[in-house]
Amino acid sequence: MARLRLGVLISGHGSNLQALIDANLKRDFGAEVALVVSNQSDAYGLARARDAGLAAALISHRDYRTRDEFDAALDDALNAEGVELVCLAGFMRVLGTGFVERWKNRLINIHPSLLPAFKGLDVHRRVIAAGVRLSGCTVHYVRAEIDNGPIIVQGAVPVLAGDTAETLEARVHEIEHQCYPLAVDLIAKGRVQIEGECVRLLDVRDARGRLINPAPGDPKPA
Ligand code: GRF
């Protein structure tokens, strides 16, 4: 079966891009990275893309007079590679509403908190300051309002006594690298249904075969 063609937008380190590249190597993964775009010339993720032999483009927002022109350049690059799903992976530019509408339900993001808690920047420091016991990550469809949109997959990690923003970030990154490929694979395999502004997962099971996100009529676990 043809794999879903991904366009991955990055600005920096690209460890989530790497997780998608690594997932690519698995035979049953439903997607492939068709294009990597960075808006920063020094993004390490660009080197990761080149090392993996992937098409990579630098599209710097500094080269465009307006957000719309920058967004249009992104559109052109993504369409030229036949991208079907755009994955934001540490992409540090706000996309215009036109771009978000054009890619509606074909544009996803990963955020390093359990949304809708802790939207925005400087997440791990704020999580620790709030004294919450759990943090994690969220993969969600993108809507015009930042860090908002139907939630596809979340992964939770504990916040430990003595954590710093750096130690918590490292723990969250580990779960991100599982959640992003999982969310992409579920979309590629048609297991993600958007109902209103929520997602329903269709026939997705945990390691013990139990349904995740069951509906009222689904069979009860044995
Ligand atoms: C991740 O923590 C992601 O949740 C956030 O930006 C960070 C990107 O990290 N949106 P990396 O560049 O993938 O390593």
Shortest-distance Cα residue to atom 14 of ligand 1: 15
Mutate to test the pocket of ligand 1, among 110, 140, 147 (most ligand atoms within 8 A of CB): 110
Predicted confidence at residue 181, as pLDDT, reads: 98
Report yes or no: 169 and 175 within 8 Å, Cβ to Cβ: no
Predicted confidence at residue 220, as pLDDT, reads: 72
Residues 144-194: tens digit of each pLDDT: 999 999 999 999 999 999 999 999 999 999 999 999 999 999 999 999 999
Ligand 1 atom nearest to 110, measured from its CA: 4
HSE (CB half, 13 Å, CA atoms) of 146?
10
147 in ligand 1 pocket by Cβ < 6 Å?
no
Predicted confidence at residue 222, as pLDDT, reads: 64
Predicted confidence at residue 218, as pLDDT, reads: 76
Does residue 111 carry a catalytic annotation? yes
Predicted confidence at residue 216, as pLDDT, reads: 79
Ligand 1 centroid to Cα of residue 115, in Å, is 15
112 in ligand 1 pocket by Cβ < 6 Å?
yes
Predicted confidence at residue 210, as pLDDT, reads: 84
Phi, psi angle pair for 146, to nearest 5°:
-65, 140
Catalytic-labelled residue, pool 13, 61, 111, 140: 111
Arch. (CATH architecture) of 1-103: 3-Layer(aba) Sandwich (3.40)
The long-range contacts involving 53-56, CB below 8 angstroms and separated by at least 24 positions, are 54/21, 55/81
Q: How many CB atoms lie within 10 A of CB 52?
A: 17
Residues in the chain where the model's pLDDT stays below 50: none
Ligand 1 centroid to Cα of residue 11, in Å, is 9
Look at strands 85-88 and 107-111 and give their pairing: parallel
